[in-house]
Amino acid sequence: MKAKPPLNVLLVITDQQRATDTGFMGNPILKTPHLDALAARAMVFDNAWVANPVCMPNRSSLMTGRMPSAHGVIFNDRSLEPGVNTFVRGFRKAGYQTALMGKSHLQHGVSKNAMVPFRGGPSSQSPYPAGWDAIEDYERYTAGPVLDPEDYYGFGQIELSLDHGASVAGHHLQWALAQGGDLSKLVIDQDRDAQGSKRSKHWRQIYQPPYDER
């Protein structure tokens, strides 16, 4: 009898909402048809709890299976160390091809500014090569093609989309530029005074970019 081939594993992370803010979890107002269809034929973990109320510590906990106090990412001001053991590295060791598409947010891009003196002594020194924590720095992608690491927390291939909402950065930005996009219109300030923003008096305002998202 032939052995069954290993199953493909697809992990989808939506960025981001409460567990009750989806149709398949019973929300009567919000419409999430694609997530509902996926949940209908997938495994839904409906008794899961976050390890921290901030996003980066939770992403790092998901990757490592460890609490923020153990993996060190306790807030959004530091990057997950590149050499940590992740479940993705476990898949890779088992022979899987691994890839990351979309938002990662395992690095903040400002780790070098988060190093502080300890008890009046010299600042901490990173044991990792220079630039290890700049893979998700948006400026890295505005100057042209980039050389990606062969192992990014276990992922053998990465195509990153950085930041939030309609912001265009990372590999997503490079793709948009290759389609003829204008850098000055794709990279904009995300604030209420940004050129082209549609102002609203409501507290829930989401500032729109000055280009067509359709």
Q: Are 72 and 63 in contact (CB under 8 A)?
A: no
Q: What is the rounded CA–CA span in Å between residue 23 and residue 35?
A: 8
Residue 172 known to be catalytic: no
d(CA 71, CA 9): 24
Read off the tokens for 79. Answer: 């990057």
* Known catalytic residue at 164: no
Which of these is catalytic: 105, 108, 171, 172? Answer: 105
Q: Is the sign of the CA dihedral 95, 134, 15, 175 positive or negative?
A: negative
* Residue 47, token pair as written in the block: 């008794």
What residues are annotated to the active site? 55, 105
